[in-house]
Amino acid sequence: MAEGMSEPASEVTASEVTDPARFLRDHGPAALEWAASYLERVGSLPVLAQIEPGELTSKLPAAAPEQGESFDAVLRDLDEILMPGITHWQHPRYFAYFPSATSGPAILADMLAVTINTVSFLWRSSPAATELEAVVLAWVAQLMGLPAGWHGQIEAGGSLATMTAAIAAREATGRNLLVCSAETHSSAAKAARMLGMELRTVPVDGDGALSVDALGSLGDAAIVVATVGTTSRGAVDPVPAIADACEAAGAWLHIDAAYAGAAMVCPEMRWAFAGVERADSLLVNAHKWMLTPIDCSLLWTSRPDAFLNAFSMVPEYLRTPAFEDQWSPHEYGPALGRGFRALKLWAVLRCYGRDGLRQHVRAGLEMAATFENWVAADAGWELVSPRRFGLVCFRHVGDDNFNEALLEAVNASGEAFLSHTVINGRYALRLATGGLLTTPADIDHTWKLLRGEAAALSF
Amino acid sequence: MAEGMSEPASEVTASEVTDPARFLRDHGPAALEWAASYLERVGSLPVLAQIEPGELTSKLPAAAPEQGESFDAVLRDLDEILMPGITHWQHPRYFAYFPSATSGPAILADMLAVTINTVSFLWRSSPAATELEAVVLAWVAQLMGLPAGWHGQIEAGGSLATMTAAIAAREATGRNLLVCSAETHSSAAKAARMLGMELRTVPVDGDGALSVDALGSLGDAAIVVATVGTTSRGAVDPVPAIADACEAAGAWLHIDAAYAGAAMVCPEMRWAFAGVERADSLLVNAHKWMLTPIDCSLLWTSRPDAFLNAFSMVPEYLRTPAFEDQWSPHEYGPALGRGFRALKLWAVLRCYGRDGLRQHVRAGLEMAATFENWVAADAGWELVSPRRFGLVCFRHVGDDNFNEALLEAVNASGEAFLSHTVINGRYALRLATGGLLTTPADIDHTWKLLRGEAAALSF
């Protein structure tokens, strides 16, 4: 195939690519149809890419072409070369890690954002992006029942958002210790390591929640990272008690609700988020369960002045008149230039509405509950941990090796994709709902697939 | 207008938004035409947004709609509410800060990336994105004449990329000092502050380049950030001498060529980059002068093992078979989840070709040279600093206040947008070429505009 690619390709005239409006009119319809068709047929493709490491690289040429080619060639190679190497996160039976659902409104709005391609670091460099970001973060905060008046911003990812909070906390407290649980997402420990902070890991209870009894003194703590919905098993740390301890010790409380936070759109789920209103900072990844493609990590803070103290640095070439200064996004985080990420989230909120987002979350919760019930009712299977949100951790009777082989067999089938964890020393399969296209029939299909593969392995 | 927006909007049926293929077919053509039409008419819009801070916020409702609305309403409000608040980075007379050019191939390819919305942290979570990223970074390295075999990755922004290098350097050297020049981009000093590193700022010579004589001992230095093409005036630090000093002292050499690096695609410009082949890490923002929209910061390292040492942290839920491990993108940087950013860069390289990218850079260089000549030849104006790459720093005869008023008058006209800096204590206007749509006629138009506004102010 590499040879095929080096054949004289359909070269383009310079005018075609340098006239972007013409380019979009000439090639946009085919690209759009590719996208629509992809979302129609993705369910018929193998979820987990069925290639070997290095296989795709070997099919690509060693250099970019000297002369420009037609976008037709890009679409052709996307189909012929890249597609076999894509793990399909939008497949209705993608259940691994956590979901990252795209959606129609987000796809189109992001295309417009990339067309406008405004860069927001100062208010004047992008007033619309700057103000819309604040507005949609306020909309989401209200939809989630969070306190009014928090400062919201979009960061490039959850790991970066937690690191951002840790930097603000260190600056605000003058302390250098990050505290989290043994099951906090690795991004917290990674932030401590990257920032040169000390790390204290607090043990968890049998359900994976931070043990408050083991929290110890927070007198040296800059920040405690508490999680609602841990990555391994969706555990919920006891936020109210942690907030009490932080408040008493003057430590910063950061809530990592990267995955589960979307469930706050449903009032009936807010019990799981008790105490988050006391956070100094809160992270929810809209690019997980909120139909907004990556990157879109929502980071709120009740202490914007602490962010300003930590991140504001204004060289001469970024000075603007004082009445614009209060809006400068670059003074509130690690990044300078930032894309128009708010536009896709705005389109999702407009086109789904508050009701549509609730329906999407509820559908994921219900499908996970259904699956949990099937596992619980079958003597051949067991729940390794109680279901939390859309996440079910389970295993087949048998040892860890059996379950690891089971997972590999299921994933190799291409019919579904799940991931794994280890809970209290035991290997567990993880099934996380929340995809754009997942229906109850896909849960049923996957349950049958799991039982079939387990039977084949047991035989 | 806020009231207008709360009128009963065109509500959609649930099926319309929950069927993404139908949504794209129904609304994609209008979105695509909006994008094409925008790029056709952007030159007729005021470059700098003509609204006041807070004005846009006041026109948006206080909450997301309860029921979903049609995408038509999103497009309508984009036109009526957001457009007046957009500073048009794609306007042919956008000359402020540095360019951030989009392009037809990038717009369409990114739409496909957002549709697929795969998340690359492990090889298996996104083999195609993982491998394509390595391949296109190798293509660009080759196109720029960089050494073969460097490890390349895409980071979310230049500030983050420099911070990433500083973390790797600190880990590799066991030292805690960041050294840069007084005119290094503020992201270097910000990285030191965020990471709790010490900072030493080395004076610059009259041209804004780091004074090697003032470099001092690097025995305590973790990293020296040297710049090819500073933000203020495009200065080029003496990289070969700095590389000698770093090598002798065991310090990490990071090259910030965020803006100017694109010029390496032209062999005749490589003289300015002498010594960058000795870097431990090198940053070029493809989202500045390479027709690839934000975010697309290219970060290469000749020491991938040092990155691995600094960033690898693999919890159980991210473990994969050993033969996949060598590819895990999350082990080479601060982020875990990352979008399919390589696809847009691949499309740009394919559709422009190596020749097309060279032509784009050369056009920017030539237009800046033309402008420089006009300034130099007119007794009413002066160059404050020699032209570097596509950047001209200049001023009108008169004091700083006059030039500040001149800049504000030009920008308020909506006809062009320039930014400013201060060089050796003197206020200077900055004109940076490199936009997608800029032609020599726009340079001519802007020169006439500047002279006209200066004459009006002088009167």
Alpha-carbon distance of B331 to B314, in angstroms, equals 8
pLDDT of residue B4: 38
**Sequence letter at residue A392:** V
Predicted pLDDT at A320: 83
CB pair distance less than 8 Å for A24 and B104: yes
Q: Is the ipTM of this complex over 0.90?
A: yes
- Asked if B335 lies within 8 A of A160 by C-beta distance, the reply is yes
For the stretch A342-360, pLDDT in tens is: 999 999 999 999 999 999 9
User: A312-321, A373-382, B24-33: which has the minimum mean pLDDT?
Assistant: A312-321
* B76 at A interface, C-beta within 8 A: no
pLDDT at B12: 55
- Which site among B22, B32, B59, B81 would you substitute to test the A interface, given the most A Cβ atoms closer than 10 Å to its Cβ? B32
Q: Sheet with B198-202: list strands edge to edge.
A: B151-155, B297-301, B281-285, B252-256, B221-227, B177-181, B198-202
Q: Do B39 and A24 touch (CB under 8 A)?
A: yes
In this predicted structure, what is the pLDDT of residue A15?
56
At A36-72, the pLDDT tens digits run: 999 999 999 999 999 999 999 999 999 999 999 999 9
Q: Work out the burial of residue A264: count CB atoms within 10 Å of its CB; fewer than 13 is exposed, 13-18 middle, 19 or more buried.
A: buried
- Pairing assessment for the beta strands B252-256 and B221-227 based on DSSP bridges: parallel
Q: Does domain A104-350 have CATH number 3.40.50.150?
A: no
pLDDT value at A2 more than 50: no
Are the Cβ atoms of B39 and A27 closer than 8 angstroms? no
B117 CB near a chain A CB, below 8 Å? yes
DSSP string, B71-92: HHHHHHHIIIIIGGG---TTST
Mean pLDDT throughout A263-279?
A: 98
pLDDT score of B320? 83
Q: Which CATH architecture has domain A354-458?
A: Alpha-Beta Complex (3.90)
- According to DSSP, the residues that pair with B55 across neighbouring strands are none
Tell me what pLDDT residue A457 has.
Answer: 96
Burial class (CB in 10 A: 0-12, 13-18, 19+), A250: middle
CA–CA gap between residue A223 and residue A161 (Å, rounded): 14
Contact B195 A190 (CB under 8 A): no
CB contact under 8 A, A35 and B436: no
> What CATH class has A2-83?
mainly alpha
Copy the structure tokens of residue B400.
Answer: 């700083």
pTM of the model: 0.96
Query: Do B231 and A186 lie within an 8 Å CB cutoff?
Result: no
The per-residue pLDDT for range A197-219, each reduced to its tens digit, is 999 999 999 999 999 999 999 99
Of A285, A274, A265, A287, the closest CA to residue A141 belongs to A265
pLDDT for residue A319: 87
Check whether A4 has a pLDDT greater than 50: no
CATH topology of domain B2-10+26-85: dopa decarboxylase, N-terminal domain (1.20.1340)
B232, A316: Cβ pair inside 8 Å? yes
- Specify which residues A91 forms β-bridges with: none
- Count CB atoms within 10 A of the CB of residue A412: 12
List of chain B residues whose C-beta atoms are within 8 Å of the C-beta of residue A48: 124
Chain A touched by B346 (CB under 8 Å): yes
Closest residue in chain A to residue B94, using alpha carbons only: A125
Task: Name every chain B residue with its beta carbon within 8 A of the beta carbon of A437.
Answer: 20
User: Interior CA angle at B13 toward B60 and A33, to 5°?
Assistant: 90
Going from N- to C-terminal start, the domains of chain B cover 2-10+26-85, 104-350
Residue B60 Cα, gap to closest chain A Cα (Å): 8
What the block records as the tokens of A382 is 């067991």
- The tens place of each residue's pLDDT in chain B, 459 residues long, gives 343 344 444 455 555 898 999 999 999 999 999 999 999 999 999 999 999 999 999 999 999 999 999 999 999 999 999 999 999 999 999 999 999 999 999 999 999 999 999 999 999 999 999 999 999 999 999 999 999 999 999 999 999 999 999 999 999 999 999 999 999 999 999 999 999 999 999 999 999 999 999 999 999 999 999 999 999 999 999 999 999 999 999 999 999 999 999 999 999 999 999 999 999 999 999 999 999 999 999 999 999 999 999 999 988 888 887 777 678 999 999 999 999 999 999 999 999 999 999 999 999 999 999 999 999 999 999 999 999 999 999 999 999 999 999 999 999 999 999 999 999 999 999 999 999 999 999 999 999 999 999 999 987
Counting one residue from chain A and one from chain B, the pairs whose CB atoms sit within 8 A come to 488
Decide if B145 touches A, using CB distance below 8 A: no
Distances (CA, A) of A339 to A367, B82, B451: 35, 15, 33
- What pLDDT is attached to residue B11? 53
B315 touches chain A (CB under 8 A): yes
Any B CB within 8 A of A157 CB? yes
pLDDT of B8:
43
CA nearest B69: which of B113, B124, B9?
B9
B293 and B344 Cβ atoms separated by less than 8 Å: yes
- Pairing type for strands A177-181 and A221-227 reads parallel
Q: Which of B21, B110, B140 sits opposite A40 (nearest CB)?
A: B21
Q: What is the CA radius of gyration of chain A?
A: 24
Tokens of A69: 């080619």
Best residue in A48, A69, A87, A285 to probe B by mutation, most B CBs within 10 Å?
A87
Contact A60 B31 (CB under 8 A): no
Nearest CB to A107; choose among B24, B34, B327? B24
Q: pLDDT band for A13, please (50, 70, 90 cuts).
A: low
Q: Note whether B103 contacts A17, CB cutoff 8 Å.
A: yes
Which of chain A's residues have a Cβ under 8 Å away from the Cβ of B89?
116-119, 126
Assess B337–A contact: CB distance below 8 Å, yes or no: yes
Distance from CA of A335 to the nearest CA of B (A): 6
Q: Please name the residues between 371 and 390 in chain B that touch chain A, using a CB distance below 8 Å.
A: none
Closest listed residue to residue A238, CA positions, set A265, A267, A213, A216: A213
Residue B412 at interface with chain A, using a CB cutoff of 8 Å: no
Q: What is the distance in angstroms between the Cα of A249 and the nearest Cα belonging to chain B?
A: 23
| CB-based contact, A273 to chain B, within 8 Å | no
Q: In this predicted model, what pLDDT tens digit does every residue of A398-420 receive, in sequence order?
A: 999 999 999 999 999 999 999 99
Q: Is A375 helix (H, G, I), strand (E, B) or coil?
A: helix
Q: Select from A107, A114, A157 the Cβ nearest to the Cβ of B335.
A: A157
Which of A162, A336, A404, A422 to substitute to test the interface with B, most B CBs within 10 Å? Answer: A336
Q: Decide if A295 and B339 are in contact by the 8 Å CB cutoff.
A: yes
Whether residue B139 lies within 8 A of chain A, CB to CB, comes out as yes
